[in-house]
């Protein structure tokens, strides 16, 4: 192959490459894509519809969220009321059982213990039990007061939320 033929071959390859890349650049500039689907691109009026639909969907979602923000949160206090009533009944049962056993009952027990073989150790145990029962009575009274306060507060909040629902 002569030098002239070789130069013509290189020039032909260069011209073909420039034409190929130039046409690709032209297609890319006009459609934004480099595929055969570039000719089948949709009309601009058709593309506006999805944007309008998306905007309308976002606006409706925004209105829904604003309505939720304006409405106060509703709390279902019925389950909480049931649990509190159950705990109150359990507390009442414990108080009833404990009410039958008072601190003064330990004095009779001390008298019986005095006649046993090791009265001092039993006497300290009975004294400790007497103190514990006294503390237990006090604590049950406190719990009873707290339970009644909680029930009244829950009922007040429940009525308040029902009142705001009816508005």
pTM, two decimals, is: 0.32
Question: Domain check: are 20 and 69 in the same one?
Answer: no
91 lies in the same domain as 57: no
Residues 65 and 26 in one domain: no
Task: Say whether both 83 and 149 belong to one domain.
Answer: yes
Distance between CA atoms of residues 121 and 127, nearest Å: 10
Q: How many domains does the chain have?
A: 3
In a domain, 89, yes or no: yes
Same domain for 95 and 153? yes
Report the pLDDT averaged over residues 33-57. Answer: 62
Contact 56, 119 (CB under 8 A): no
Q: Give the pLDDT band of residue 48 (cuts 50, 70, 90).
A: low
In which domain, by residue range, is 10 found? 1-32
- Would you state the pLDDT for residue 34? 56
Residue 18: predicted pLDDT: 93
Q: Express each pLDDT in 69-106 by its tens digit.
A: 887 767 777 888 888 888 888 888 877 777 666 666 66
Residues 21 and 63 in one domain: no
Q: d(Cα 92, Cα 96) in Å, to the nearest integer?
A: 6
pLDDT above 60: residue 17: yes
Specify whether 102 is located in the same domain as 69. Answer: no
Q: CB within 8 A of 113, min separation 6: which ones? A: 119, 122, 123, 126
The pLDDT value given to residue 159 = 59
Do the domain assignments include residue 140? Answer: yes
Is position 39 within any domain? Answer: no
User: Do 88 and 154 share a domain, yes or no?
Assistant: yes
């Amino acid at each position: 192959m002569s030098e002239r033929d070789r130069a013509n071959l290189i020039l032909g390859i260069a011209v073909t490459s420039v034409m190929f890349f130039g046409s690709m650049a032209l297609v890319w500039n006009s459609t934004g894509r480099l595929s055969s689907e570039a000719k089948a691109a949709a009309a601009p009026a058709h593309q506006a519809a999805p944007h309008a639909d998306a905007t309308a969907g976002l606006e409706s979602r925004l209105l829904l969220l604003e309505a939720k923000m304006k409405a106060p949160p509703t709390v279902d206090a019925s389950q909480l009321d049931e649990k509190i009533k159950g705990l109150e009944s359990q507390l009442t049962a414990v108080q009833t059982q404990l009410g039958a056993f008072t601190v003064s009952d330990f004095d009779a027990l001390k008298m019986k213990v005095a006649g046993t073989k090791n009265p001092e150790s039993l006497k300290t145990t009975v004294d400790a039990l007497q103190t514990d029962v006294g503390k237990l009575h006090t604590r049950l009274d406190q719990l009873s007061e707290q339970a009644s306060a909680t029930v009244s507060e829950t009922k007040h909040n429940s009525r308040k939320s029902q009142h705001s629902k009816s508005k």
